[in-house]
Structure 1
Amino acid sequence: MAQTRFAPDRGLTRRMVVTMFLLGLLYVVFVAVLITLGVRAVVVLVIAGAILLVQYFMSDRIALFAMHGRVVSPQEAPELHGMIDRLCALADMPKPRVAIADSDVPNAFATGRNQKNSVVCVTTGLLRRVDGGELEGVLAHEMSHVAHRDVAVMTIASFLGIVAGLMTRVALYSGLGGRGRDDRGGLPIGLIILLVSALVYAVSFLLTRALSRYRELAADRAGALLTQRPSALASALVKISGEMARIPTRDLREAEPFNAFFFAPALSGKAGLAALFATHPPLERRLEQLSGISAQLGQGG
């Protein structure tokens, strides 16, 4: 993490290191299996690497384009710029570009590979529904993602999933399933590749989703400590989650693919097994953490 005044989070650092180690180990095993099976995975690796580079260097442009966001000047949004200027001064970090997306879904996101190439975007729906203190809490949360380089970490972490997904498609659509058998006369090599790729994809998916959920908790904590107003962030979470229920389902489903970027998920999964696939922790868990921070700061529940 670059040097800022955002509270350091050793738990986040440990989880990033452990997740990257496990994904790297999984990658080595996966490639070893492919080599053993005689698969030439060079083309897949090149394609996956190209996708990774595009995501890494153009994540801000892609996200803004997908969300119909546009960068706004201080003259166009003076209050929003003023709030981000204040947070940048508090955090001692470069100012990101400021954008607004014309969407009634109340949300915000931050993206960019580093602090000098980042953008913080809020929706018009969010600006209409929260007050100044709540908006500041949301912005502090998003700027914490920038300070922790979360987008870069999650992009790199997704690489193995991209490779495994591509290998699965190759096995499905190139007729590998019926080509050749292993040395013991067992399953077709293509079917083995398909099964191994699907397993690797599932494991990497679960690891990155677990990291994503903790990443959101870490951003809540860092944002709340920076502003010293955890109750405002908690209020924003409750208000945004409540307002989501009033948004047409069609609009929420259109926004759902961007949940990993959002401050709050457009559509939340149900508790239980579905929680393993969620990009964000449950609302109750986030509020519980913020309540604990309020108690630490002597501000009550």
Structure 2
Amino acid sequence: MSRTRFAPDRGLTSRMLLTMFLIGLLYVVFVGALLVLFKGYWPIVVIVAGALFVAQFWFSDKIAAFSMGAHEVSAQEYPELHGTIDRLCALADMPKPRVAVAQSDVPNAFATGRNEKNAVVCVTTGLLRRLEPEELEGVLAHELSHVAHRDVAVMTIAGFLGVLAGVITRAGLQFGMFGGFDRRDSRDANGSDNTAVAALVIIGVSAAVYAISFLLTRLLSRYRELSADRSAALLTGRPSALASALTKVSGQMAAIPTEDLRRAQPFNAFYFAPAISPRELVSNAFSTHPSLEKRLEQLGRISNELGRA
């Protein structure tokens, strides 16, 4: 974590570290299995895995920002937005990130960038229209907490294993669809079908790794959001303002056209709150964010703690 005044959360941090350890362990086992199965092709496995990781780590934030229509804005264009971020950065003792705005009626915000030097904090026009100044401050403090904790880099690394496993699974399935499992071509001198069996094993292992990595990454994402909520509430000293913003954003998703929500949902892991209608029920195990009730409960506890201080 960067040296800022954002309050550390040892409980949530330990759970995030445990989840990252499990993801790393899964990655080691997966790559080891690939090296055994591919045998003489291990250099290709290493090169492909390395290239995918570098591409995702260095460019995923830029791709996401471009896909969400974010464009950098100056202090002259949005003086109040810049002013709020200036105050929060001074309060947190951290460098100011670039500021961007996305033209979207979906009320949300997100942060991208693998480190503080490359960080961008973006809000949508829908969020600016709906929130009061103190509510917006709480949301921006939440996003700045993600930057200070290098959450984008953490989630990129955590999500890499799932991307690699997904690519290998799809490649294996396409290989099979186009005749790669033809028994007549894959039999060895002893009449065995080793190539086809190995390919099926690779697909099975990759699919299993993808599923486990998906669940662990979603778990890590939920921890990350709770930690950012807590850090933002303690930095601003106004957890009620963040709770109000969460309630308002979640409640007004129902008024957003379905088409706009569907366009935004692929980027839910980046957002302050998931772009989903309250009518839609999503299992907590598959969600990128904790439930609204859990986030409000935590903010309520922090409010009580600050009241007793």
* TM more than 0.5: yes
Alignment match, 1:226:
235
Deviations 1:118-155 (Å, cap 9, x if unpaired)?
00000000000000000000000000000000000111
Alignment match, 1:55:
56
CA 1:200 to 1:41, structure 2 compared with 1: closer, same or farther past 3 Å?
Answer: farther
Deviation (angstroms), 1:188: 1.9
Residue 296 of structure 2: which of 279, 283, 287 is its match? Answer: 287
Deviation (angstroms), 1:178: 4.7
User: How many percent identity over aligned positions?
Assistant: 66
CA 1:199 to 1:181, structure 2 compared with 1: closer, same or farther past 3 Å?
Answer: farther
Deviations 1:200-223 (Å, cap 9, x if unpaired)?
111111111100001000000000
Alignment match, 2:248:
239
| Aligned counterparts, 1:240-259, within 5 A | 240-259=249-268
Q: TM-score, normalised by structure 1?
A: 0.92
Distance in 2 (CA, whole Å) between partners of 1:137 and 1:76 is 21
Distance in 2 (CA, whole Å) between partners of 1:47 and 1:86 is 44
Structure 1 residue 14 corresponds to structure 2 residue 14: yes
Structure 1 residue 277 corresponds to structure 2 residue 275: no
Q: Give the count of matched residue pairs.
A: 298
| Aligned counterparts, 1:212-223, within 5 A | 212-223=221-232
SS in 1 for 2:270: coil
| Aligned counterparts, 1:1-301, within 5 A | 1-38=1-38, 40=41, 42-175=43-176, 176-178=180-182, 180=186, 188-267=197-276, 270=281, 274-298=283-307
Distance in 2 (CA, whole Å) between partners of 1:266 and 1:2 is 29
Q: Is the 8 A contact 1:178 1:190 kept in 2?
A: no
Distance in 2 (CA, whole Å) between partners of 1:46 and 1:15 is 32
CA 1:91 to 1:30, structure 2 compared with 1: closer, same or farther past 3 Å?
Answer: same
Asked which structure has the greater CA Rg, the reply is: 2
Q: Is the 8 A contact 2:52 2:164 kept in 1?
A: no
SS in 1 for 2:255: coil
Comparing 126-135 with 151-160, which one deviates more in the overlay? Answer: 151-160
Deviation (angstroms), 1:19: 2.1
SS in 2 for 1:109: strand
Distance in 2 (CA, whole Å) between partners of 1:22 and 1:178 is 37
Partner amino acid, structure 2, of 1:37: L
SS in 2 for 1:122: strand
Q: Is the 8 A contact 1:106 1:129 kept in 2?
A: yes
CA 1:27 to 1:59, structure 2 compared with 1: closer, same or farther past 3 Å?
Answer: closer
CA 1:128 to 1:252, structure 2 compared with 1: closer, same or farther past 3 Å?
Answer: same
SS in 2 for 1:298: helix
Distance in 2 (CA, whole Å) between partners of 1:128 and 1:111 is 22
Deviation (angstroms), 1:181: 8.0
Comparing 141-150 with 59-68, which one deviates more in the overlay? Answer: 59-68
Distance in 2 (CA, whole Å) between partners of 1:47 and 1:190 is 17
- Structure (1/2) with the larger helix percentage: 2
Distance in 2 (CA, whole Å) between partners of 1:11 and 1:239 is 28
SS in 2 for 1:80: helix
SS in 1 for 2:288: coil
Q: Is the 8 A contact 2:72 2:100 kept in 1?
A: yes
Distance in 2 (CA, whole Å) between partners of 1:134 and 1:270 is 26
Partner amino acid, structure 2, of 1:3: R
Distance in 2 (CA, whole Å) between partners of 1:14 and 1:99 is 32
| Structure 1 outlier segments of 4+, above 4 Å | 176-187
CA 1:222 to 1:46, structure 2 compared with 1: closer, same or farther past 3 Å?
Answer: same
Partner amino acid, structure 1, of 2:265: E
Q: Is the 8 A contact 1:60 1:118 kept in 2?
A: no
SS in 2 for 1:174: helix
Deviation (angstroms), 1:172: 0.6
Distance in 2 (CA, whole Å) between partners of 1:3 and 1:223 is 15
CA 1:84 to 1:191, structure 2 compared with 1: closer, same or farther past 3 Å?
Answer: same
Distance in 2 (CA, whole Å) between partners of 1:227 and 1:99 is 22
